[in-house]
Structure 1
Amino acid sequence: MPTLYLNSQGVDARLNDRRVALSRFDYTNDDVDAFTVPIFDIDRVVVIGTPRVSMQLLHKFMYANIPVYFLSAHGRWVSSMVPNSNGSALRRLRQYDAARSATLAVMIARQLVYAKIRNMRRVLQRLAANREQSQDVEQMDACNSLLGYAQKVMDADTVAAIRGYEGIASACYFRRLGAFFPEDLPFTSRSRRPPRDAANAILSWTYTIVGAEIDAEIRCAGLDPCLGFLHDISYGRPSLALDLVEPLRAPLCDLLALNLLNHKLLKKEHFENHADDGGVYLKSDSRKIFFCEYEQYMERFFAESKGGSRVTFRRVIRNMVNAISQTVESNQEPQFFMMP
């Protein structure tokens, strides 16, 4: 089990020797569901909402070098606990120096957004090919526009200009992406806080889960997740983690969301409206469906390029974090994931 998900308020997790003892009250059958998971089978833990997790178990996760991610009940990023990485203080000092360098910031931001736009274009091409829509006017216009924006990004000489092209390209991409959502769960425009429909709910949820994995990988590499290059540095914002989410939004998050909705793994009844903020969210008892599919996506092997080595998306995340490390230590221009 690569990831242990502790989901919902009724879950109780405690340490039992070298195993995690899990229990949850089953109100339907008036019974308690209980089972255990070996610690050595767990690579990471995701805590959603407010399940009961003993301090002894959290300590065990840290001693076993298992990162723990904390999300709100609505799937918003809260924080993480990762094994001690204070030995990389020199790397963080170099990262701080790199963040002050306009030249390095532009170089990194340029490559991030270029990879993001190329991936958005490739996703649209793949979706259109599956539906025999590659020659549709709207499809060709969107792909041609994205190619143009990618070229403009490579010529940009300020982070502000790069952000501008990224925003325009994303708007173009989402206008076309809406054509590939199911009719009963349509996507009309991007809404974030809160998500206004099921399509946006599953997109935001997936972005958050992937962002949590990236944040932990950054910390384990001895880097500061709050010190980014594309996103503004702001109190409490994991700017570097947000940076590295960008190239993976389309090829990982968006395709996963579309797969879940188009194959009816998630339906309208799996979502609920919340009166507190008017948002639409994935129901607590529906998250198991998401996580089963998510784990398959993250662990599935694929070739990064024609004839290239086979990787998983978790390996891709590690490679991108390593690319940042190499850049801050040697000023080497980074290369980020581009969908084959």
Structure 2
Amino acid sequence: MATLWLDQKDLELRAEADTLIIERQGERLQRLPVALLERAVIQSKVRLDSTVLGALAEAGVATLILSPRHARRTALVLGLPHADASVRLAQYRACEDADFCLRLSRVLVRAKIQRCRIVLGHALTLRGDLRYPLTQALERLARLRQSLAEDARSIQTLRGIEGAAAAAYFAAYTQLFASELGFTERNRRPPRDPVNAVLSLAYTLLHFEAVRLAHAHGLDPSLGFFHDLAYGRESLACDLIEPVRAEVDHWVWRLFAERQLRAEHFSRDGGAVLLGKAGRAIFYQAHETATAQWSRRLRRYTRALVRILRAHTATAEHGT
């Protein structure tokens, strides 16, 4: 299964039976069976009609539309809803159980901290010149992971531990990049350096994948357990991607370290740094391989969550 990337101007997309036709100014560029797709990402001016969106949705293909310049999500079209509403009902009930939310959130944060330690541990094998800051961060993360069992007695405390872990991790992570990239902290809306521009795009796509998988498995992407309910936010998707973010960070680091992406692939628009057309082509090609691993991990998490929710509901019903 694959991603359909549409990042060129003046494309036209048509649906014929179970096939997508991609054309430009009357010239046919590609025929693509819908059955081969899992997702579509549009970041350019593309002409299409409702039959295309209908064909994609009916086949379970989610479509993400990004703004052409800033790679910000402007629309999301998901496939048909899951037929079994009992999954969502179990999710709604579990979200009202504070102990359940805390237990599940503790698992997510522990997995996130461990993945951050793996990324920095790998960096330590390659960057001996950064031994001190990397070792300091690894030790700090180890202490915070230990505190999960001892101190995380409430969701507020757990969020404090997660925030401290993220700060320790990023303090070391930023030092992995060349100084001329200007990456000293995480910033967004807009990203102010090339690394943050790529991280923002990668996180947007990861979040999209989590929303897509949650929806496909009958879950409500907006109702999370670790992240609070917030207007306009898919909090469950935010939960699911927490243990995977560091894998994305590692991938972004290697894109720059191996000079697949370089400063000349970026431009400035006021205070924002934008990834140019040539850079996006490199990004999308590399992302297609990497996202397969991230998607498998997210799918496992999503399926495990559905099983846990069903078990939680069964236990609650048996208890009553």
Equivalent in the alignment of 1:320: 301
In the TM superposition, what is the alpha-carbon distance from 1:167 to its structure 2 partner? 1.0
The structure carrying a bigger helix percent of its residues is 2
- The answer as to 2:255 corresponding to 1:260 is yes
Within 5 A, what are the aligned runs for 1:151-166? 151-155=146-150, 156-166=152-162
Q: Aligned with 2:279: secondary structure?
A: helix
2-side partners of 1:16 and 1:262: how far apart? Answer: 43
- The answer as to 2:22 corresponding to 1:19 is no
Q: Aligned with 1:331: secondary structure?
A: helix
Amino acid corresponding to residue 279 of structure 1 in structure 2:
A
- The answer as to 2:106 corresponding to 1:143 is no
Amino acid corresponding to residue 41 of structure 2 in structure 1:
V
Kept in 1, the 8 Å contact 2:21–2:28? The answer is no
- The answer as to 2:63 corresponding to 1:68 is yes
**For 1:81-129, what per-residue CA distance to the aligned partner results, in whole angstroms no more than 9, with x for missing partners?**
2322242211111101111111011111111111111111110010110
Kept in 1, the 8 Å contact 2:109–2:162? The answer is yes
Within 5 A, what are the aligned runs for 1:12-161? 12-24=12-24, 34-73=29-68, 74-132=70-128, 136-155=131-150, 156-161=152-157
**For 1:53-95, what per-residue CA distance to the aligned partner results, in whole angstroms no more than 9, with x for missing partners?**
2211111112222222233332223443232224221111110
Q: 5+ unaligned residues in a row in structure 2: which ranges?
A: 314-320
Q: What is the CA RMSD across the aligned residues, in angstroms? A: 2.1
Kept in 2, the 8 Å contact 1:178–1:186? The answer is no
2-side partners of 1:180 and 1:49: how far apart? Answer: 32
TM-score normalised by the chain length of structure 2: 0.90
Fraction of identical pairs, as percent: 32
Within 5 A, what are the aligned runs for 1:171-182? 171-182=167-178
Equivalent in the alignment of 1:10: 10
TM-score normalised by the chain length of structure 1: 0.85
Equivalent in the alignment of 2:318: none
- The answer as to 2:245 corresponding to 1:249 is yes
In the TM superposition, what is the alpha-carbon distance from 1:8 to its structure 2 partner? 4.6
**For 1:223-275, what per-residue CA distance to the aligned partner results, in whole angstroms no more than 9, with x for missing partners?**
00000011111111000001111111112x11111121111111112122223
Give the number of aligned pairs.
311
Equivalent in the alignment of 1:287: 280
Amino acid corresponding to residue 96 of structure 1 in structure 2:
Y
Equivalent in the alignment of 1:305: none
Q: Aligned with 1:14: secondary structure?
A: strand
Deviating 4+ runs (over 3 angstroms): none
**For 1:131-173, what per-residue CA distance to the aligned partner results, in whole angstroms no more than 9, with x for missing partners?**
3358x22222110100111111233011111111111111111
In the TM superposition, what is the alpha-carbon distance from 1:294 to its structure 2 partner? 0.8
2-side partners of 1:123 and 1:286: how far apart? Answer: 24
Equivalent in the alignment of 1:272: 267
In the TM superposition, what is the alpha-carbon distance from 1:213 to its structure 2 partner? 0.7
2-side partners of 1:244 and 1:78: how far apart? Answer: 21
2-side partners of 1:162 and 1:216: how far apart? Answer: 27
2-side partners of 1:169 and 1:12: how far apart? Answer: 46
